[in-house]
Amino acid sequence: MSQPETEARSEPSAPPPSAQAPELQEAAKYGPAGRLIGTLLSPGETFEDVSRRPTWLAPLLIAMLTAAAAFWFYNWRANPDYPRIIRNQIKQQLDRRGQQISDEDLQKGINIQLALVKFYPAFGAVFTAITYFIVAGIFALAMLLMQAQTTFKKILSVIAWSMCSVGLVGAIVRCASLMLRDPDSLREVDFRQWASLSATNLAFLLPGDVSAPVRALAQSLDVFSIWLLILLIIGLAAIGGSKRITKSKTATVVVGLWIVWVLFYVGLASMGFA
């Protein structure tokens, strides 16, 4: 046997691609607390980290606890007159529809809603979780149409961290605004309208007897809503997976969907459901 043949046989062959060791996934730079703060203060760097290691459970749990805690705090501070609030709501809806009911039926409706008040914190927490998944699904469809190279988990992570961070700050600000008000003036304020009690949206400047659609539109023009839109624009561009997914393109999608939501919300308010 010749020497070249011996050397050729003695060289180890390269392993097949399937036998090569998989690349190690890069570890996340920030933990839950770091991402919560970083989303607000350095969103670009934070969302790049989210793109490497997407997580959504931690912000979802924080948001659910925030929703429940906000209601408990409001209930403690305002001590709302629920029977009167519910009575006024039912009468307003009946007036819009041109309907009338007996006092007995009215009281039955009030009693049913009063029985549900104790479950409002749980309803708020569950509704928050459902909202996150619905919003993520809508943006996932939009990103798919933009031909983004991303995953639903990454999109859900961006949605969760953005909405959780802004929602937490918003809840703190609104709870602080409650502390500055006379509790007696809050007894007839519906919890669903408590966002208008802080000077972060235009509804704060409106009189109490303004129509529901106008109030809904004014509430939509909120500092925290604009802040959230900016974070979503940055976050979706960061996880787009392609240079074609620029911030200008994600801004078009985010702002466009927000306008659709505002119109839908104003429509619900005009029918007495918002």
Query: Which residue did the predictor score with more confidence, 213 or 149?
Result: 149
Predicted local confidence at residue 67, as pLDDT: 93
In a domain? residue 5 = no
In a domain? residue 21 = no
Predicted local confidence at residue 207, as pLDDT: 73
Q: Could you give the number of structural domains in the chain?
A: 1
In a domain? residue 203 = yes
In a domain? residue 1 = no
- Within a 10 A sphere around the Cβ of 116, how many other Cβ atoms? 10
Domain span holding position 75: 55-270
Taking residues 148-152, report their average pLDDT. 93
In a domain? residue 77 = yes
In a domain? residue 111 = yes
| % of the chain at pLDDT higher than 70 | 86
Could you give the CA distance from residue 46 to residue 67 in angstroms, rounded to a whole number?
A: 24
pLDDT band at 123 (very low <50, low <70, confident <90, very high): very high
On average, the pLDDT of the chain sits at: 84
For residues 203 and 195, the answer to whether their CB atoms sit within 8 Å is yes
Torsion of CA 165, 171, 173, 179, to 10 degrees: -160
Give the 3-state DSSP-derived string for the chain, with helices as H, strands as E and coil as C.
CCHHHHHHHHCCCCCCHHHCCCCCCCCCCCCHHHHHHHHHHCHHHHHHHHHHCCCCHHHHHHHHHHHHHHHHHHHHHHCCCHHHHHHHHHHHHHHHHCCCCCHHHHHHHHHHHHHHHCCHHHHHHHHHHHHHHHHHHHHHHHHHHCCCCCCHHHHHHHHHHHHHHHHHHHHHHHHHHHHCCCHHHHCCCCHHHHHHHCCCEHHHHCCCCCCHHHHHHHHHCEHHHHHHHHHHHHHHHHCCCCCCCCHHHHHHHHHHHHHHHHHHHHHHHHCCCC
Contacts of residue 4, defined as CB under 8 A and 6 or more positions apart, other chains included, come to: none
In a domain? residue 50 = no
Could you give the CA distance from residue 196 to residue 162 in angstroms, rounded to a whole number?
A: 22
In a domain? residue 120 = yes
Joined together, the tokens standing for residue 101 give: 């009911």
Task: Give per-residue pLDDT as tens, 209-228.
Answer: 777 788 888 888 889 999 99
Predicted local confidence at residue 27, as pLDDT: 66
For residues 80 and 183, the answer to whether their CB atoms sit within 8 Å is no
